[in-house]
Amino acid sequence: MNLTRPPEEVRSAAEGEGPRMSDRSFIAACVQLCPGDDRAANLEQVRHGVQSARQQGAALVALPEYATFLHASGAAMRNNADAELADPALPKLQAMAREHAVWLLVGSLALPGLEGRLVNRSYLLSADGAVVASYDKIHMFDATLKGGRVIRESAAYAPGATAVLAETPWARLGLSICYDVRFPHLYRQLAQAGAEVLAIPAAFTRQTGSLHWRALLQARAIENGAFILAPATCGEHPGGHQTYGHAMVIGPDGQVLAEAGDAPQVVCARIDLDQVTNVRARLPSLTHDRAFQLATPA
């Protein structure tokens, strides 16, 4: 797995725009939305969410996966996907970042990729609206469910191949999307490369969300001694899709600092990076990985 680190020029620009606070802390917000197939209406939801987050003092605002368009039909997603430079949502999101002077994590947009497949791409925007980093979702959900229902996300989406670590004025941010949360090695590599905050924007299904969402997020926080920002979609979506909601901010010790419910909401929490330093000093497991062999039955 490749890992993209923030280049020096990005680090310098970020630090110039907003130096680290003396107490190494800032307020982060997770916006919970119920997007559908009306992009304009979705963007209006986003605008209200970003505005609310800014009013609560947030410097970094995170949006969920598929924040600007969500439909259960793969054909609908493809038919409404615009090329990156032509996507009508991205310039509006950049304008929102500038207007409210916040760093904005765009959980994901569905964009045309190669061979007729889409890519599920996340963006990190600076407070002046510049694209600081982007990440294509690596892990695809391919499964045969009970009753024979077959889901092949890889038939509609091309997987990414590069893990991305981005620099903000406050912390290094590891990027991921939804189903990635089930693959601990991704987050460990990000944390070992310097990530202090891990972003997991999602459109988690209602059924699996009620079983696994909180446990998976807390596990990723505890394993890596990192803060988790997990903005989420919620409610009913076109095509009969239901998502779980419960956007969360989780501390590096696994404590849930803020949690949304089942409806659209904005939750905020203070991210104190000294907590990352302290947790990793007490439990330095990121430095204790050892190579080993696997003995299998003869």
Give tens-digit pLDDT for 123-158. Answer: 999 999 999 999 999 999 998 867 777 778 899 999
Determine the pLDDT at residue 294: 96
Considering the candidates 30, 34, 65, 259, report the single residue annotated as catalytic. 65
- Separation of first and last alpha carbons in the chain: 31
Phi-psi sector, 252: left (phi>0), alpha (psi -120 to 50), beta: alpha
- Domains of the chain, CATH where assigned: 2-17+26-282 (3.60.110.10)
Instruction: Give the residue among 114, 121, 110 at the shortest CA–CA distance from 73.
Output: 110
Contact of 174 with 138, CB cutoff 8 Å: no
Determine the pLDDT at residue 1: 63
Please classify residue 23 by burial: count the beta carbons closer than 10 Å to its beta carbon, then call 0-12 exposed, 13-18 middle and 19+ buried.
exposed
Cα–Cα distance between 295 and 42 in angstroms, integer? 52
Cα–Cα distance between 15 and 36 in angstroms, integer? 37
Give the mean pLDDT per block of 10 residues along the chain (298 residues): 61 40 81 97 98 98 98 92 89 98 98 92 98 98 79 91 97 97 98 98 93 97 98 96 96 98 98 97 96 94
- Catalytic residue check, 65: yes
CA 36, distance to chain mean position in Å, is 19
Determine the pLDDT at residue 116: 87
HSE-CB for 101 with a 13 A CA cutoff:
4
- Alpha-helix runs per DSSP H in 115-182: 153-156
- Catalytic residue check, 137: yes
Cα–Cα distance between 168 and 233 in angstroms, integer? 24
Considering the candidates 30, 34, 167, 178, report the single residue annotated as catalytic. 178
Contact of 217 with 230, CB cutoff 8 Å: yes
Considering the candidates 30, 34, 137, 153, report the single residue annotated as catalytic. 137
pTM of the model: 0.92
Determine the pLDDT at residue 4: 75
Which residue do the tokens 């091309």 mark? 158
Determine the pLDDT at residue 281: 97
